[in-house]
Structure 1
Amino acid sequence: MRHFLFVLLAILAAPVSALDEATVFDKTVAYLTRDADCSEATTEPGWERRVLTMPRDGYRLRYSRFGCAPGAKGALVIAPGRSEPSYEYVETAMDFIARGFAPVYVIDHRGQGLSPRLLADPDKSHVEDFGDYIADFTQFVAAVEADLSALGASPDLPLFLTSNSMGGAIAIGYLQKVGGDTPFAAAALVSAMIHVNYISYTGKRARWLNLRIYSESGVAVQGWWRCAVAWLWNDDLCHDYASARTFGPYQPGTRSFEQDAEAMMTRSRARYALRTHMWDHFDWSGIRKAEYAGENWQGPQIGGTTNSWARGSVRFLREMRAPDSLARMVDTPVLLLSGTRDLRAYRQYPGVFDAPPDLSRHTGFCDDLNAASLAADKGYACQFSAINGAFHEIYKERDATRNTALDMVEGFFLRHVR
């Protein structure tokens, strides 16, 4: 009962978000332009960009650390979604730091964000093997633990995990890899990539044939053909865009906000405009010159995925959902948080345009994980929650939706302090 009251009071006393839609654009651009690390006295959290050299291939992975000292409630790791740089989580980092979680560590996944590109065309969202993301994340978490130790954090300081979209799949893969050796007290996976609504990337109508061509099985067959067969006469095909006509190279000046359109991924015009500015107008030349000598990085912007990425993601997701895989992640409490209008997650039906979005793939994943955890006598490992009306990028949604999500995530973390 005392623990319940502590959690309730902590939630009720939680501060409002550090920024809001009226201030987020100007204040975030000013914060990133100032580029202040922990050596400079400031009332705002320091932003430090770190480099990790991957031991297996020498790749120089990037990540950001926001905040300079351990928080009262623990530290936080964030795994962003596909195409998201670590700096896009500065507002979320400020929110969690204000709530007592610090530092906040955010990874730039291989080939995107602030990390160097893997192909000569820097627009291509590519990975040779989806497992590379998991291996990178494992090294990143080890670096976080070492940094917390260097900061003098108590060995009992809780470490929490949250994510968005593709970062959720990577987080799940990591939890399945480490099993009971997880350093995380709990994980809140937001808009997790569990089973992708691939047709949402194409702009095509949800007709019977399209839904099968752009289903998980359809993508798997296309990826197999392009990467395992057609490469015999076109060895570049696996590195080509999976859908160049509809989702190929990124074109500056093409991002245009449409109110209440699910394809925007957010209903917040200001937060949508922030990404556009940082991709199209922000001056990255100083950071590029100082930190990327000899590396393939021109800026954070990125276009569509390659056939290799599409094929690898399908293969990984199918393995990730397998019963044996789920049984390896029952030691970490998981909150699966989705928006009821998450275009990337819900199941579409041909010709039934007024049907409500169906999130059964997410609820089913939670049910399957709970079945595995109950079989291992671990209790219920997964909690599914939905935010009514929220789009895909919940941490970049409108203020009311963001604050609801922050409260839910913090409450879940506090309920699972070891």
Structure 2
Amino acid sequence: MTASIAHYESFLLKNVSTISTLESSLRSLTWFLPGRFKDAELASEALSASLNMMSMYHDTLLTRIVQSDLRYRPLIPFSLHTRFTRAWADKSSRYKWAARLLETIRFTELVIEMGLRRNVSPRNRYRGIILLEIMKSASILSFSFLKLISFNYRAILRLMLLRITRRPLIYPPIPERDIDPTALAPSTDSSPTLAPSSPPTSLPTTPDHLRNNRVPLPQHPPLAVSPPPRSDVSIEEYLLPKALTTTSVKPLLSLVRPFSSPQEWMAEVVYISRPLVYATMLFSDRKSNRPLITILVMEFVSRSLRRDVPPSASLERSEYAKRDRDMLWYLFRGSIWDSYTRPKLSSIAASFSSMPILALFGTVMQDWIPLIDEYYYYTAP
């Protein structure tokens, strides 16, 4: 088994650029599969989940190679997100495995829901969704608390990460791929322990008529290149982007400040609990607006309770900005989707059908609209 893994790692290193291109191409293909044939959405999500799992495994191998060989160290530092999450993964094995399991659930949850929809009743399908949300949300508190709620899993994983770091969760909790595949191309140099297969050839001699030809001829005035225009950028403006910032020298685990008050803890716990509360309320009441209104209230409560972030805390600011942008997903949930967003998208897709190039996008849009109606995890919080 170890030899097979070693062979695969060698194959990955030699073909990393080709494999990355293939992963990207197949991932783009999954957007156009739904609606092409029966159960195309299941095939699309199964392919997408497999690609994501394979990419996570490849990232682990590439990170190990980069850390063990100085030749592959990048000249440009990794992003703050990668540095922070990798520092926590290196420090705590519990964080590393909880983060990987959380991402595994995120990659496969839609495939699991599709399988449940085809084999069990709608009520049991929502029981499965609630079980996944419990797995994703509840593991952030304490391990003694986990013994009391061992049936809660997705929430459990998030609460576990929260308890380990005592900081706002950064999504995704695992490092993203910041490695340039072309920089990992294997060297073509022969091994220094092997004798050369052929004696080195001598350098070609310089012809006699070029040996002393070192003084360039003056250019003809019409062909002379004009000097470059003088730049108006000052030296300070040129050097400022290249200067070290506080985040460049700050310890990696301090890129996000720990919580310092119960209010900050409450804001994060409320934010983590939203998906579990939403799925639980949908299980008992899928026709009213109460589930949507409840998680909207929880969203704004969490936003109002969270702490003010200084401009220097760029990683935490980017995470909160991402959470604010994710509020656009409420346009695809509940009564907002039924009464406003879906009619708008249907009319846009219908108007695209008469246009030569845009008709393709209209067809894809019409194929995706029923999937949002049928499956929870396409637009889940």
Q: Give the greater-gyration-radius structure (CA).
A: 2
The verdict on a shared fold, with TM-score over 0.5 as the criterion, is no
Which protein has the bigger strand share? 1
Which protein has the bigger helix share? 2
TM-score norm. by structure 1 comes to: 0.23
Greater relative contact order structure (CA < 8 Å, 6+ sep): 1
TM-score norm. by structure 2 comes to: 0.24
